[in-house]
Amino acid sequence: MVVQHNMNALSAYNKLNTNVAGLKKSSEKLSSGYRINRAGDDAAGLAISEKMRSQIRGLNQAKRNSQDGISMIQTFEGALQESHSILQRMKELAAESANGTYKTEVDRDAIQLEFNQLNDELDQIADTDFNGTVMLNGGEMADGLKATNGKFDYANAVRDAQQIGSAGGFIKGVDTGAYAGTNTETVTFTYAQKADGTFEWNTDASPDAKGTVTSNDNGGFSYDGAVFAIDTSNLVNGDTITVDFTKTTAAVGKTAVTTGYNIDGGDTGVVKLDKTPLKIDIADAAITSEKIANAVNALNGLSISYTATAGATTLTTTKINNVAIPGDTSTPTIAKISDNESLTIDKDSKIYYVDASGTSTQIGSLQTVAASANAAKAGNVTVEVNVADATYTPATPNAVKVKEPEATVSQANSNNAATAPLTYTDHLVLQTGARTKDSVDFTFAYKTDGMGTLKANLDVSSRTNGLGTKDLSLNTQEDANAAIDKIDNAINKVSMVRATFGATQNRLEHKVENLTTTAENLTEAESGIRDTDMAQEMLNYTKFNVLQQAAQSMLAQANQQPQSILQLLG
């Protein structure tokens, strides 16, 4: 029996520590659900499972990447659905204009107006972006900004020179108070920035300009007394402003003259008249009223009936347009122009235009005519008077009007303060797997012979490199017929672009399904290595729990053994 070393207690203590450590590990596995919580649990298993974890997480992210790609494709393809609708409407308009029932410029101008608006909307649709990426405009925005190294940089963009109109705030005002109105002309003014920071305006683009342009301190210029205030902060060299100047003109007209007559002698034979039966009394004066011009024109076809006496040298007028020649008191109406306007004749055979207020203006008179005595026979003679048309041009006041550029709606509505960058690409690179090699470049390429001269690209703007509808005209029947085939080609191109997107989308949907299946199987494999078998671990936990309690009891018994030595010392 010894006191210094209680080997029984020491042995029980060591076993207790072993059982506590085992119970701790078993409890950790049961509470975490993982068989491997640290490299010491299973070094090889940890290395294998971590590689699997990395691959699984990469596959799950690749699945999200592919789904984002599908969303992107759906966005662009959805935009093209409306482009298809616009092109179908364009074809309707072209077929409408090609119909021979439209004979006036107004009809086809109205059709062209809608056609141009639809072209502008095609350009806006082509600018559709997904998360800042643009694919459908061929690298040029509807407002004219072009991509540089795949970027639309609005913040640092330097645009090309262009014709400036009222849109965009470039022209701040036009003062015509001192406009001289010396010439009727259209003048183009060009902005030039000098090396020393100053500027000037010139009319080199309008060699026929009769006046002189003077640059002003307000950024603008003066011409013929008209002053233009211009905001030059956003101008670039070569920007132009085109202005229509109109000089004051007076009302002018063309005086009608008697041009001839027809004679119907009926059964009495032909009567030869020595002079014309009608005289226009405003012969040398300008026609200063559109109404009077219309009244003169109303004399065309005037029917004058004469009474002829056999062998007489003078014919007696009896009727004008079947209205009896007036007596001393009556003033009959010989032609009604409108509800409140008319031609009248008085007793002296003078013809008047009477307006709505009752004001009379003499415009002509009936003449006494002579017939050849040998040719005249008793009876009635009818003369149909032919009068040359009278024309009237109203007075024109001084006018200064900025000529608007033939810009698209897109340009007019563009935001000059835009700064957000946009990216242009005609292909889509997706990371569709957990490895570097799984990066796929989806190039939307296609080939077809059904698009005429259109290029097989993704550009669906109205420009020449896109759908080619921008410059189509429906102003004539021939142009409209030619446009029908070109619009058909544009429809075919949009169909091919949509088909390309659709094919890629279908591929990506299969890609997502494959990624999902692979990730699922790898997750199952990783689970087999790393997850705790809860039933088996409960056996271990129960064992260590019992052994820990037994070791504690044995340690307590061993600690009591040295006390028996005290009995020997008593």
Q: How far apart are CA 88 and CA 45, in angstroms?
A: 64
Q: Where are the domains of the chain?
A: 1-33+535-570, 54-153+423-519, 167-249+398-404, 253-393
Q: How far apart are CA 134 and CA 151, in angstroms?
A: 10
Q: How far apart are CA 399 and CA 341, in angstroms?
A: 33
Q: Which fold has domain 54-153+423-519?
A: f41 fragment of flagellin, N-terminal domain (1.20.1330)
Check residue 410 and give its pLDDT: 59
558 residue type, one letter: A
Check residue 261 and give its pLDDT: 63
Check residue 263 and give its pLDDT: 64
- Provide the 10 A C-beta neighbour count for residue 116: 18
**Nearest Cα residue to 284 out of 255, 251, 253:** 255
366: helix, coil or strand? Answer: strand
The residues facing 535 across adjacent strands are none
Q: How far apart are CA 564 and CA 567, in angstroms?
A: 6
**Which parts of the chain have pLDDT scores under 70?**
1, 255-271, 281-288, 328-329, 373-376, 407-417, 570
